[in-house]
Amino acid sequence: MCGIVGYIGTKQAYPILIKGLKRLEYRGYDSAGVALISNNRHLNVYKAKGKVSDLESFAAEKDISGTVGIAHTRWATHGEPSQANAHPHYSSSENLALIHNGIIENYAILKEKLQSKGYVFKSSTDTEVLVQLIDYIMVTNKLDLLSAVQLALQEVIGAYAIAVLEKNNPDQIIAARKSSSLVVGIGEEELFLASDATPIVEYTDKVVYLDDEEIAIIRRGEELKVVNFKNVEINPEIKEVKLNLGQLEKRGFSHFMLKEIFEQPDCIYDCMRGRINVDADNVVLSAVIDYKEKLLGARRFIIVACGTSWHAALIGKHLIESFCRIPVEVEYASEFRYRDPVIDEQDVVIAISQSGETTDTLAAIELARSRGAFIYGICNSVGSSIPRATHTGSYIHVGPEIGVASTKAFTGQVTVLAMLALTLAKEKQSLPREEFLEIVKELSHIPEKMKKVLELNHRIAGLSQIFTYAHNFIYLGRGYSYPVALEGALKLKEISYIHAEGYPAAEMKHGPIALIDAEMPVVVIATHNGLYKKVLSNIQEIKARQGRVIALVTEGDDVISSIADYCIELPATLECLDPLITTVPLQMLAYHIAVCKGKDVDQPRNLAKSVTVE
């Protein structure tokens, strides 16, 4: 959720920190702040409500000197977005400044204890409690910062990535993590710190991903040192990150979301590269081959995920059940983790996550692991927490997704799920060879077909203008298209703030039909597949009640085009791969409606891309 950046080295810290915050702004953007130890050894903290650009304006005339600093962009949990609640937080002595991503669950008890010792609080945050606690432990026990952090974190219940700066010790940053990601970048005579590698990659490709309950001692002119809470030294494993800077820029698009929609053909190609070999009529997901006994021996699969990833999971259920004849259940990770699910070592849990950091999905994995289940991860963010918590898995390889509303990650997840189902089906011989080959071949054509869908961008932009009046939308689909309807509705809600519901088309008559009148736009996914005729009847029912139908149809469909108000014609594909085609125009529709309504597409209100709180 919140974003953390830190720097110590020979350069001015402020510009590096601000640039880093901008890279991480997708994580939270209700307030931002920076703490710097200035050239004349003051610990300066500057904070502003709003975006990083508001912080820049606020700090414009201030002393921004110094070669060490920490910075934060916030997504509010405790306390409204305000300057007072923005991070960094000072300790009362103003000797320490701290930034935090996560939640301190026992903050109320700790706060009472500190108040009884005379500590005064200026904000409503849980974070201020932590910095005061560290200060209290330092002062009362006459400890150095590292020892105080180690003791304080043993008193804390919750999730955190933190970084602390000490006025009296301007040559170090102490950072620690538990359940929230933290990466240290290793440069020449400089060290960086960030919630993920995106702020670091333009300076160095060498990083260390901290593990839970590890503390990084980041000192000027010294090598990175990592210890645990008991001060046992841990050998940091230096990894190479392969992020290309262009992936982090808009490259001429007006928004990251639009750029990411347009990247999808290349992303899907990258996702399949080395995994699909059409000439050899083969699909290989290496993790599936490595663990085929475990996977094929499973009693059932349970897919856990949140948000858009949960919609991909619903498509995964269709794919795996129909290709492999293995029963699949799909669960919201947030519900699964707090039930007492019947699960054991005969089950395989597939966890899907773009960010690899979603707290609920991580907790669901931990629960399933503790009951003996085998865990397969499907993630985008390389080196994130979820891939490290699973037994094995597959990356979707679609590159960093910056727009808060997920687009290319969804189609990447569906592509990996299709490859997973195909690899298993081949091993299990559960699909007739002809059918298997047809699907593999068609999957390899999806990037080309997506490109054709993207050519509809202008037409969809025009169509969007008609619907900016709407306060509600209904999205309908059946079979493989039902999760697409859910995803289309979610995209619209997320970025345009128009209320939208996705329904299985046949369920319309059990309630939502009461909402239909001449004002109601109904988006129907009505491509040519097994349930086409049924969906056609649903469209007739909507038109009989004057609803305004926007239908996604297969090119050349002149039946629905004579009934629906607007038709978006899409290239034909196999029914099982249809979501990879039909999702794209719905992403564009949501995008253009939001743009027409003047909304902040890449940073919609109240949302965050990486949900590291419950």
Catalytic residues: 2, 609
When asked if residue 496 is in the footprint of ligand G6P (CB under 6 A), the reply is: no
When asked if residue 390 is in the footprint of ligand G6P (CB under 6 A), the reply is: no
Asked whether the bond before 88 is cis by omega within 30 degrees of 0, the reply is yes
Binding part of the chain for ligand G6P, among 30-38, 142-150, 352-360, 506-514 by CB under 6 A, reads: 352-360
Residue 308 or residue 554: which is nearer to ligand G6P going by CB? 308
* Angle between helices 408-428 and 578-596 in degrees, nearest 10: 170
Q: How far apart are CA 488 and CA 460, in angstroms?
A: 14
Residue 179 or residue 358: which is nearer to ligand G6P going by CB? 358
When asked if residue 73 is in the footprint of ligand G6P (CB under 6 A), the reply is: no
DSSP bridge pairs for 553:
569
The angle at the Cα of 50, spanning 128 to 404, to the nearest 5 degrees, equals: 100
When asked if residue 587 is in the footprint of ligand G6P (CB under 6 A), the reply is: no
Given 44, 73, 92, 361, the residue binding ligand G6P (CB under 6 A):
361
Question: Is 24 in contact with 216 (CB distance < 8 Å)?
Answer: no
When asked if residue 384 is in the footprint of ligand G6P (CB under 6 A), the reply is: no
| Smallest distance, ligand G6P to C-beta of residue 451, A | 24
Interface residues for ligand G6P in 595-614 (CB under 6 A)? 607, 609, 611
DSSP symbols for 11-50: S-HHHHHHHHHHHTGGG--SEEEEEEE-TTS-EEEEEEES
Residue 554 or residue 612: which is nearer to ligand G6P going by CB? 612
Q: CB-side exposure of 109: number of CA atoms within 13 Å?
A: 6
User: What is the three-state SS of 254-317?
Assistant: CCHHHHHHHHHHHHHHHHHCCCEECCCCEECCHHHHHCHHHHHCCCEEEEEECHHHHHHHHHHH
Given 354, 390, 481, 612, the residue binding ligand G6P (CB under 6 A):
354
When asked if residue 406 is in the footprint of ligand G6P (CB under 6 A), the reply is: yes
| Smallest distance, ligand G6P to C-beta of residue 516, A | 29
Residue 137 or residue 351: which is nearer to ligand G6P going by CB? 351
What string marks each residue from 304 to 323 as x (binds ligand G6P by CB under 6 A) or -?
A: --xxxx--------------
Beta strands 374-379; 392-395: pairing state: parallel
Q: How far apart are CA 386 and CA 363, in angstroms?
A: 10
Residue 310 or residue 482: which is nearer to ligand G6P going by CB? 310
When asked if residue 404 is in the footprint of ligand G6P (CB under 6 A), the reply is: yes
Amino acid type, 453? V
Binding part of the chain for ligand G6P, among 136-144, 347-355, 433-441, 539-547 by CB under 6 A, reads: 347-355
- The residues, any chain, with a CB within 8 Å of residue 177's CB and separated by 6 or more, are 160, 161, 162, 210, 211, 212, 213, 214
Residue 218 or residue 404: which is nearer to ligand G6P going by CB? 404
Q: How far apart are CA 223 and CA 229, in angstroms?
A: 19
Applying CB under 6 A, the site for ligand G6P has a residue count of 14
**Interface positions with ligand G6P (CB under 6 A):** 306-309, 353-355, 358, 361, 404, 406, 607, 609, 611
